[in-house]
Structure 1
Amino acid sequence: MSSSALAPLLRPVVALPATMSISDVADRLLTAEHKAFLSLPVVDDAGRPLGLVSRYRLQDIFMQRFGRDLWGRRPVVDVMNPEPLIVSLETGLEEAARQITGQLQYPITEDFVLVDGAGRYQGLGTVLDLLKAMEVRVAQRNRVLRRALTELRESQTQLVQAEKMASLGQMVAGVAHELNTPLGYVKNNVELLRELIAPLFELAEAQAALGDCLSAADSDGQALARALESAAQARDRVAPELLAGDLEQLFADTRYGLGQIGELVVGLKDFARLDRAMSEEVDLNDCVRSTLVIARNGIKDKVEVLTRLGELPRIACAPSQINQVLLNLLNNAAQAMERFGRILVKTWAEPDALCLSVQDDGCGMPPEVLKRIFDPFYTTKPVGQGTGLGLSISFKIIQDHGGSIQVASEVGRGTRFLIRLPLTQAASLQRSA
């Protein structure tokens, strides 16, 4: 920092020679030009400060009986402080404040001396001026920090939203793929039904023509024979002895496909809890089941999911957030598989909490990775394949629920996440369901 930082603190004050008498100094301190100062400087012939004469020191002398007679003619060096606070004008404001406050004694009875780079006296500075300058500097820095904090919060909100949108994109892609399979064969069944029903319309037309021929008064034998033959051919194409079985099979397959679509829609609704309250009493096992439905497409080709769901009491929580945590853990476990593996999801109850664990037999994590997995923006995935916020957000969600999330991992053996949620709802989630 340049020397100009202390320039506003500099008050030009004429220094006193060391030979000036104490009485003359006392009279000078009583003048209007010096009333703002607690002390006056004493310098040598070269302009270097020798000390400061405090008005409080002189007051003690002249309040004594015969004080002026005994001390008045003596040189000022006899009562000055030979070790005043000296600060160079080239010193930065923060460093000057540190030096002065480090040596300051209370009550404050002196000012501090400002010198140039050669150590020559330049003027006095008062502690009050220094405090005002520091107050202005602190206010400026507070404004900068507040602006930086606002920008940081905005960036954090955007990044969290980006992570949520990335998770939503993966989830929607998985659900769309799951819907495509039953939709595909429902569509095929409808096409087959159209093909099977087409001969029925031809048969109906042929029978209608035969009926018209029979009811016509002028119908001859040849026309009736042709109508009968057309009706017989149409019946053969319909093959009613086989049609009933084919239709029943197609309807059964279609009902099954529509049932799968309905299951996915219900699972998606339960996962997102779009029609539910922010916080409600839920069965944690239901959260596991709905999340597995949503995650099925993304993990079914990589892992086999086993569940051991215990008997659980209902717990007050934000189920959509808990589902988000479970989806993140399942996807991470599947991505950790170098070969087809298994994920075991377990739930059980303890006296004061519910526990849920997600354990995989994937590649595991070394200690240096394990200790950083909950850090924001930390990821071992290639660039562009992860924001490094998934586990950080999951940690915050469980923390907001008053619970804890722990992880244990061993390279080559797999990883296990353990979530504990208290049976008593966290204060931050005290909303009516």
Structure 2
Amino acid sequence: MSSIQSLAALIKPVGSLSPEMTISDVADQLLQPSHKAFLSLPVVNRQGRPLGLISRYRLQDIFMQRFGRDLWGKRSVTEAVNTESLVIALDTSLDEAARIVTAQLQYPITEDFILVDKHGCYQGLGTVLDLLKAMESRIDQRNQALSRALQELKNSQAHLIQSEKMASLGQMVAGVAHELNTPLGYVKNNVQLLRDLVQPLLELAAAQAQLSQCLQDPATPTDTVEAIFSRVQQATDQASPATFEEDFTPLLEDTLYGLEQIGELAVSLKDFARLDRAMSEDIDLNDCVRSALVIARNALKDKALVTTRLGELPLLTCTPSQINQVLLNILNNAAQAMTNSGQILIKSWADTRCAYLSIQDNGAGIPNDIQQRIFDPFFTTKAVGEGTGLGLAISYKIVQQHGGTIRFASEPGRGTRFVISLPLSQPSPLQRSA
């Protein structure tokens, strides 16, 4: 039935009854093996136009009466025909035909329906069961097509979310790389200075080794020994402990400080991405704030002064890498909203049910006419190539999946404040999905 596209495929070429036939003749017709599949037979006049249907149920009602066959058997079939039988044109679509049939469908089903051409002439019968099966097949096909479309949409959504994550990751990596350049630069410079500082020590060691060999050889000329001894004296003067210690210790301490900064960035990056952690765990939301600030430091340092007022928070169950992504998106947006040196205030607090986080900036704010759309996917006010419009949409979805809420208030020209609330105990579906 999957190939049925029109009513023509459902035609049953059933011979029609003439109005001159008696009711007994019709009963004999319905008893023939070729007609057992039909609930009714059409009565058609000489012009080929259907007058109606006479059904098995109607004949049963007649013949079940006392002396029914004797009283009705010789009467014309037109006295028992249902003139209100359903007639459908062949050029009617399957969907429309199904709508017409089901609108008049009664239980039990007692009649088939008549199919006519565009001139209204009888062409055959259609059975309700065949029509319903054809529609069921079409619905199955449409459901399969919708399922494929839904799966493709989910795949596209996953790709878009991944693209947004990669874009955020690209910004993050660029910021971290920039932050690493400064300590790496002076660590490299210090190592070069230390190499130059150690060079006199290496020359002194080489001269002393040569002098030792000469002294052990009795055949060494006195002039040679004196020349080498003089060289040792010069190397000793150049590698004086006072000068060496004066330069060496600060360089070494500065180098260690630079390496500590690099290590701090590496730890913050690891904590931000949670690469070595379980996807769902109990964390302090303040730790997420600190990690996000380190990662976003390059984007913020020339744009805004960040002030934190982090309260004491209980541990909450969440997926830290996702919460970090939300914070990074909001911080980056805050930085981009600053035209001159601005301020960002981050506060955290908790009650018996939720932990709260507020991120407030004094940037350009969000125009009133677009405030209702900022969480819509693909909506962005940034120039082409500067944003996908998915950052806040993904952030909204992440917070929602954690059972929390994300709200904002904004006044153009004065800034924007986002408030995130996360329940302290997550429902089990989050932990299972993680």
TM-score (norm 1): 0.90
State the match for 1:78 in structure 2.
79
Shift of 1:3: 10
Larger mean Cα displacement after TM superposition, 241-250 or 88-97: 241-250
Counterpart residue identity of residue 427, structure 1: S
State the match for 1:412 in structure 2.
413
Q: How many residues align?
A: 432
Q: Which runs of 5+ in 2 are unaligned?
A: none
| 1:431 to 1:87, Cα distance in 2 relative to 1, 3 A | closer
* Cα separation, 1, equivalents of 2:285 and 2:334: 20
* Cα separation, 2, equivalents of 1:5 and 1:32: 27
* Cα separation, 2, equivalents of 1:55 and 1:208: 125
State the match for 1:246 in structure 2.
247
* Cα separation, 2, equivalents of 1:129 and 1:213: 115
Shift of 1:238: 4.0
Shift of 1:230: 4.3
Instruction: Tell me the SS of whatever aligns to 2:150.
Output: helix
Q: State whether structure 2 residue 433 is matched by structure 1 residue 426.
A: no
1:194-239 CA deviation, whole Å, 9 max, x = no partner?
2222233334455666777888878999777756654554455445
Alignment of 1:27-42 (within 5 A): 27-42=28-43
1:23-44 CA deviation, whole Å, 9 max, x = no partner?
3222222222222211121233
State the match for 1:356 in structure 2.
357
* Cα separation, 1, equivalents of 2:100 and 2:371: 45
* Cα separation, 2, equivalents of 1:209 and 1:9: 111
* Cα separation, 2, equivalents of 1:197 and 1:381: 54
Give yes or no for contact 1:400–1:426 (8 Å, CA) kept in 2. no
State the match for 1:66 in structure 2.
67
Instruction: Tell me the SS of whatever aligns to 2:28.
Output: helix
* Cα separation, 2, equivalents of 1:131 and 1:216: 115
1:347-398 CA deviation, whole Å, 9 max, x = no partner?
1102210011222222222345332333333333333333333223222222
Alignment of 1:149-298 (within 5 A): 149-205=150-206, 230-238=231-239, 240-298=241-299
State the match for 2:323 in structure 1.
322
Larger mean Cα displacement after TM superposition, 201-210 or 266-275: 201-210
* Cα separation, 2, equivalents of 1:14 and 1:402: 67
| 1:320 to 1:209, Cα distance in 2 relative to 1, 3 A | same
| 1:322 to 1:28, Cα distance in 2 relative to 1, 3 A | same
1:118-138 CA deviation, whole Å, 9 max, x = no partner?
221111111111111112212
Q: Which runs of 5+ in 1 are unaligned?
A: none
1:164-188 CA deviation, whole Å, 9 max, x = no partner?
2222222222112111110110110
Shift of 1:332: 1.9
Give yes or no for contact 2:4–2:134 (8 Å, CA) kept in 1. no
* Percent identity of equivalent pairs: 65
* Cα separation, 1, equivalents of 2:258 and 2:12: 90
Larger mean Cα displacement after TM superposition, 65-74 or 318-327: 65-74
* Cα separation, 1, equivalents of 2:284 and 2:71: 94
Tell me how large the CA RMSD over aligned residues is: 2.8
| 1:212 to 1:57, Cα distance in 2 relative to 1, 3 A | closer
Give yes or no for contact 1:406–1:419 (8 Å, CA) kept in 2. yes
* Cα separation, 1, equivalents of 2:17 and 2:368: 70
* Cα separation, 2, equivalents of 1:368 and 1:38: 64
| 1:223 to 1:79, Cα distance in 2 relative to 1, 3 A | closer
* Cα separation, 2, equivalents of 1:153 and 1:355: 31
* Cα separation, 2, equivalents of 1:4 and 1:323: 54
Instruction: Tell me the SS of whatever aligns to 1:243.
Output: helix
TM-score (norm 2): 0.90
Instruction: Tell me the SS of whatever aligns to 2:282.
Output: strand
Counterpart residue identity of residue 313, structure 2: L
Shift of 1:20: 2.9
State the match for 2:121 in structure 1.
120
Instruction: Tell me the SS of whatever aligns to 1:197.
Output: helix
Q: State whether structure 2 residue 410 is matched by structure 1 residue 375.
A: no
State the match for 2:401 in structure 1.
400
Give yes or no for contact 1:17–1:42 (8 Å, CA) kept in 2. yes
* Cα separation, 2, equivalents of 1:33 and 1:215: 129
| 1:16 to 1:307, Cα distance in 2 relative to 1, 3 A | same
Give yes or no for contact 2:376–2:393 (8 Å, CA) kept in 1. yes
Larger mean Cα displacement after TM superposition, 346-355 or 417-426: 417-426
State the match for 2:133 in structure 1.
132
Shift of 1:424: 1.2
State the match for 2:91 in structure 1.
90
State the match for 1:386 in structure 2.
387
Give yes or no for contact 1:3–1:92 (8 Å, CA) kept in 2. no
* Cα separation, 1, equivalents of 2:109 and 2:209: 119
Instruction: Tell me the SS of whatever aligns to 2:268.
Output: helix
| 1:202 to 1:80, Cα distance in 2 relative to 1, 3 A | same
| 1:123 to 1:252, Cα distance in 2 relative to 1, 3 A | same
Instruction: Tell me the SS of whatever aligns to 1:430.
Output: helix
* Cα separation, 2, equivalents of 1:75 and 1:432: 73
Shift of 1:240: 4.4
Shift of 1:47: 1.8
Counterpart residue identity of residue 84, structure 1: S
| 1:361 to 1:427, Cα distance in 2 relative to 1, 3 A | same
* Cα separation, 1, equivalents of 2:219 and 2:5: 124
* Cα separation, 2, equivalents of 1:218 and 1:82: 142
